[in-house]
Structure 1
Amino acid sequence: MGRGTSYFDAIEPVLRRDFQTIVVDPRGIGRSSRTETLVTAEEWADDFAQLIRHLDLPSAHILGSSHGGSMAMAMALRHPPVVASLLLFGAFSELDRFIVLNMDLRIRLAKKLGMGEDLRDFISLWTFGHEGLEKPGVDKFLEAQLTAVKLHTPESYANICRSLLHWGRRLPGQEGEPVVTSLLHRIKCPTLVACGGLDFWIPAKFSKIIAKAIPHSVYVDMPECGHIAVRDDPEGSARIIKEFLGGKRLAQVG
């Protein structure tokens, strides 16, 4: 899970060699129907849990990248029977002021500049970083990012940003609410927490907070990856997932 199936275009064929895969555009994102209202990570989690039951699956390994990790953790908290394991890449359970200001700026940019290349470029600076923008083949991902941006109106995009802030308990009116980190001890399923060493958007400190809070979780550093590790290194990400689900001991860094 993530903010659109395009996050998983590179890794899904690799995972499909060993697993049955289901890739989903969350409500209001990608090719799913647009909505001009705020959808929270918890509501997306309810959608996905309902989908798993509709498909008559007993449970599933839930892979979440970035805000998709929020949806995955919400599933484990709200619907534990359908979550066989959590596979979290570049996720977060709380926010700092840097990310809050960045989200607020994205909302303003969308309203002032519209849904085009300017907003795409600002987003890409953070999701790709210095090294990521120099990698061969990055242009196709930038085009995919532009396509994803153009699917939104300024208001629907603003609500995705607000959803992220809501998960971080940083929306107006959420003052005093406990951060999600304080709830993570309730998660009992096997959990893999991975983060790119070149992730300047949601850096490793946030993944380490999650790994510390979830009992028996495993943390893995991916030093050559940026924020979307499953896109930057699909073969390496798939290998880590396969080894984790196969019970192989992974090298823990940090």
Structure 2
Amino acid sequence: MATVRYDGADLYYASCGQGEPLLLLHGNGEDSSYFCGQIPSLKKHYRVIVMDTRGHGRSGRGEGQLNFTRFARDAAAVLDALGLSSAHVLGYSDGGNTAIRLALDAPERVRSLILNGANLDPSGIKWTVQTPIVLGYGLCRLIGLCDAGAREKAGILGLMVHHPHVRPSELSAIRVPTLVIAGEHDAVRQRHTEQIAGSIPHARLRIIPGGSHAVAAQKPAAFNRELLQFLQSL
């Protein structure tokens, strides 16, 4: 366990295992412990690197607004701290959105890309999921007028309300091997997930039957099988 100081915040990260580096990026409102169902299997084959996203878990927030461009730079800073020029990158949910941004902004840092439950814009989220998020965001903004904790929570929820904004055509610039993976009952609309896979050259698409948005936690054996099959085919 360690931290790297970058852009006004201490960013927490840890690594275990040996082999090619594999960076895991968690979702909104979570921390790196989300991947507890993946690490034991992955570390047998890879050097697994986890980090807590800025403003989440054990990482500081720093000043200014949270956004995926900033998160992608944070991920690159963690790789730099470990002396790594590049890594395979697995991103879940908002971590997937960060992974997309990293692949677009710094393609030399990404060896391969695994996108689980990512979205290109807020419309990709099912309204039954997005509506409570929007309501919670509005409430946190209101309470945040007099409460710092609520203001910080609003900043995190705002990532799902207002971001990301990636055009499908931008994804054609991603040239690394890519796996797009989602649960059958994901919070992201399946046609949106299919659009992501269809917009990245030669991307593979896998839908795990019965899986939810948190399919890696819900069905770790099935998820890990797809993940390792992809990585070991490279």
State the TM-score, normalized to the length of structure 1.
0.72
The residue type equivalent to 2:192 in the other structure is F
Cα deviations by residue, 1:70-124 (Å, 9 ceiling, x for unpaired): 000000001111100111111111221836544321213445789xxxxxxxxxx
What's the CA shift for 1:246?
Answer: 1.6
CA deviation profile, 1:11-68 (whole Å, cap 9, x unmatched) = 1222112211011101111111145742101110011112212211131110100111
Matches within 5 A, 1:133-172: 153-169=149-165
- Could you tell me whether the CA contact under 8 Å between 1:197 and 1:203 is conserved in 2? no
Q: Higher strand proportion, which one?
A: 2
Instruction: Please give the alpha-carbon distance, in whole angstroms, between the structure 2 residues aligned to 1:237 and 1:196.
Output: 9
Say which of 172, 185, 195 aligns to 1:198. Answer: 185
Taking every aligned residue pair, what percent have the same amino acid on both sides? 32
Report the Cα offset of residue 193 of structure 1. Answer: 0.1
Amino acid at match of 2:153: Y
The reply to whether residue 215 of structure 1 matches residue 201 of structure 2 is yes
Q: CA deviation at 1:238?
A: 1.4
Q: 1:46 aligns with which of 69, 73, 89?
A: 73
Matches of 2:109 and 2:152 in 1, distance apart?
A: 29
Residues in 2 aligned to 1:182 and 1:158: alpha-carbon distance in whole angstroms: 30
Structure showing greater relative contact order (alpha-carbon pairs closer than 8 Å, 6 or more residues apart): 1
Supply the RMSD in Å over aligned alpha carbons.
Answer: 2.3
Task: Extract unaligned runs of 5+ from structure 1.
Answer: 115-151, 170-178, 249-254
Among 95, 99, 103, the alignment partner of 2:133 is 103
Deviation at 1:165, TM superposition (A): 3.6
Q: Deviations over 1:225-250 (max 9, x none)?
A: 100111111222111111111228xx
Q: Work out the number of aligned pairs and report it.
A: 201
The farther-off stretch of 26-35 and 60-69 is 26-35
Spell out, residue by residue over 1:137-160, the C-alpha distance to the aligned partner (whole angstroms, 9 max, x if none): xxxxxxxxxxxxxxx922112111
| Secondary structure in 1 matching 2:114 | strand
Distance change (3 Å), C-alpha of 1:38 and 1:68 = same
